[in-house]
Structure formats: C-alpha cells, structure tokens
C-alpha cells in the first residue's frame, strides 16, 4: 500500500485512499468522542526556541538547523523553549559537533503537508544562510483531516527535493502513530494506527528517493509512550509532554548527526541489531512497524535500515536571540 501511495504521488494519482467511506461512517461517533476528550485539555501556547545554541564554542562557524512541520515540530504542549524538540536537537547537535548551532523554526501549529511549500520557502529565503540540515515532522494533521495520502506524500517529496537541491541535508520524522492517543477507542484506535503507519511508510519511500533520511516516530519512539501515557502526553492528552519530546529528540539526534558526518558509526551495518540493506518499500514497511528506526538511501532501489544507538541529551541551554528569532510559529 505504501508503494502504491508513493507511486500515485509520483504519477499524479489522487484516488488512493486508506479508509473506505463505509468504515468512516461507522466511526464518526467515536471520532466525535475523541475530539471532545482531546479538546477538553489545554495545551499551552508553544514557546519560541529560535536562536543560537552552544555559544561556548564560538568563534567556530555555526551549523544551521531548521525545523519544518506541524505542532510536534514546534513543540506545542510544553511551557519552556528548552523543552521543545528544536532546542533539544540544537543543544545535542552543538555538543556532538562542538560548534554553535543556529536554530530556526519554520513549522506551524496545525500545519498539514500542503503547507511545506511555504515553510520550505521560509527556510530558504536567505541564500547566504541555507540550513545545513532540516528536520521535518509532519503527517498527523493529514490523517485527522483525511487528506488523500498521495497528496500528502507528493507535498513532502517536493519539499525534500527542494531542500536537497539547495544543499541541505534532510531528516524526516514520519507520521506518528495516532493509535497511541489515549482518548481514541477501538475500533478507531486500530484504524488510526493502520492509517498512520501506512502514511509513515509512504513518507519514508518518497523522502529516501529524494535523498533524505527518515526516522519513524511511530508511538513517539519507544514503548514508553504506550506504557506511560500520563507522563509522555501533554495536558491536552494529544500533544507530547516534555518527557515525550525528549524521547523523540533522543532518537532523532543520531540520524541528524549521521547526516552531517558527525556520528562515529556512520552507515556501518550491525547485523546483531537487525540492521541491513533492503528494498526501499520493504525497509519503509519495517520502519513503520518499529519506532525509532532510520531508513537511508543506498543504491536504488535499496535502502539501509538502521537502529542507531541513542545517547543522553545534554541539558538544554537557553538560546541567545538572533535574527532567526523573527520567525515565530503560529498557534
């Protein structure tokens, strides 16, 4: 199914759906119950983490990191900028590279994949400050708004291609598993999980084919999320908490560093960790079923499936305001 979605996106198809109309009709009541439960909580407005991290390493030339996507990329659900995924990734990247990192947020709360064109233009608006690496976290709102999956992945593919053409490395955090959301009940939970994973696999295929790397967010990167929803979900029972974002960032940081050539194990495969070279579609399907898995392009149509070793994130340090702070994610 993921390969069909990706092919439909590449050749202009738009009619490949994941859910039949009859199934949607049966689930409308549960959808309304879930919406009331989610909206019953209050997520704080997202802080603005834009700025320079790792200033202890100045006068080194800073790395430029941009985040694109939806409220997950912005960090909605937490109250301090140091708890957002952008700040966590920038602090971690600065510590590994021993260079300052300039963070810029182009993501927007509530964004869907069709907003990536605008966000990409924002990230690339200054030709003299093209990001060294861009992180894209998108997909959940496409599922909840029933956007045709071919349209979603077509927009993602175009964004990755444009960023790569500009010279930026790209890491895509694929669609999270909406079946882990606490207010969602069966059979909607099963359907949400299936739809999320199929979209995540299709995102992996198109991102890798355009020269990017992906990390499957799944149940937000580990069994901790399903086992500890009270700790890893925010107060609205939908967005992650500070602990949830830290879990996600810790799993994405190794891929971010590997994309920039900073990770010591590079792309060497470890068979005992069930890593290997697989056809892209096969690797995408396996990654969608195991959160925290990286997929990187090799020789077409092959891809590397990796489970990178995670490292503890350094304590986040407040960013120094820079010109990048002019970009403010909307609420």
Q: Which two tokens stand for residue 23?
A: 């199934």
Burial 160-187 (b: 16+ CB within 10 A, else e): bbbbbeeebbbbbbbbbbbbbbebbeee
Reply yes or no on whether 91 is catalytic: no
Q: What are phi and psi of 261, to 5 degrees?
A: 75, 25
User: Of 81, 142, 239, 241, which one is the catalytic site residue?
Assistant: 239
Distance CA 301, CA 320 (A): 43
Cβ atoms of residues 88 and 246 within 8 Å: yes
End-to-end CA distance of the chain: 34
For the question of residue 265 being annotated catalytic, the response is no
Catalytic residue among 70, 71, 91, 115: 71
User: What are the chain's domains?
Assistant: 2-326 (3.40.50.1110)
CA distances (Å), 246 to each of 68, 87, 259, in order? 18, 10, 20
pLDDT string in tens for the chain (331-residue length) = 777 776 666 555 544 444 443 444 344 445 555 555 544 445 556 778 999 999 999 888 999 999 999 988 998 878 889 989 999 999 999 999 999 999 999 999 889 999 999 999 999 999 999 999 999 999 988 887 878 889 999 999 999 999 999 999 999 999 988 776 655 566 667 777 788 889 999 999 999 999 999 999 877 543 444 555 544 444 555 567 778 788 889 889 999 999 999 976 666 777 777 788 999 999 999 998 888 899 999 887 899 999 887 766 766 665 665 543 433 443 3
Distance of alpha carbon 107 from the chain centroid:
11
The values of phi and psi at residue 129, to 5°, are -130, 45
Choosing from 236, 267, 307, 325, the catalytic residue is: 236
Question: Phi and psi at residue 216, in whole multiples of 5°?
Answer: -75, 120
> What's residue 172's pLDDT?
97
Is residue 177 flagged as an active site residue? no
Q: Over the Cα atoms of the chain, what is R_g?
A: 18
pLDDT the model gives residue 224: 46
pLDDT for res 51: 94
């Amino acid at each position: 199914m993921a390969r069909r979605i990706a092919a439909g996106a590449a050749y202009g198809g738009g009619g490949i759906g994941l859910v039949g109309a009859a199934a949607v009709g049966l689930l409308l009541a549960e959808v309304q119950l879930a919406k009331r439960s989610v909206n019953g909580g209050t997520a704080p407005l997202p802080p603005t983490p834009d700025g320079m991290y790792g200033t202890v390493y100045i006068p080194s030339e800073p790395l430029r990191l941009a985040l694109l996507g939806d409220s997950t990329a912005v960090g909605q659900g937490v109250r301090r900028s140091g708890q957002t995924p952008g700040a966590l990734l920038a602090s971690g990247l600065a510590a590994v590279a021993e260079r300052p990192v300039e963070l810029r947020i182009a993501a927007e709360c509530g964004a869907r994949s069709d907003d990536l064109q605008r966000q990409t233009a924002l990230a690339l608006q200054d030709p003299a400050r093209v990001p060294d690496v861009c992180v894209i976290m998108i997909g959940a709102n496409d599922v909840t708004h029933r956007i045709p999956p071919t349209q979603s992945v077509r927009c993602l593919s175009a964004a990755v291609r444009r960023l790569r053409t500009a010279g930026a490395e790209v890491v895509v955090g694929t669609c999270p598993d909406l079946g882990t959301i606490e207010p969602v009940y069966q059979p909607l939970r099963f359907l949400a999980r299936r739809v999320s994973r199929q979209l995540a696999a299709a995102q992996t295929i198109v991102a890798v084919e355009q020269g990017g790397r992906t990390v499957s967010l799944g149940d937000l990167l580990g069994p901790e999320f399903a086992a500890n929803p009270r700790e890893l979900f925010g107060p609205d029972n939908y967005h992650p908490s500070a602990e949830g974002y830290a879990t996600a960032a810790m799993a994405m940081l190794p891929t971010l560093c590997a994309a920039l050539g900073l990770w010591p194990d590079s792309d060497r495969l470890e068979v005992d960790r069930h890593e290997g070279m697989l056809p892209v579609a096969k690797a995408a399907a396996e990654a969608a079923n195991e959160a925290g898995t990286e997929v990187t392009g090799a020789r077409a149509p092959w891809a590397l499936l990796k489970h990178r070793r995670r490292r503890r994130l350094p304590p986040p340090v407040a960013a120094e305001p820079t010109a990048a702070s002019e970009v403010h994610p909307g609420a």
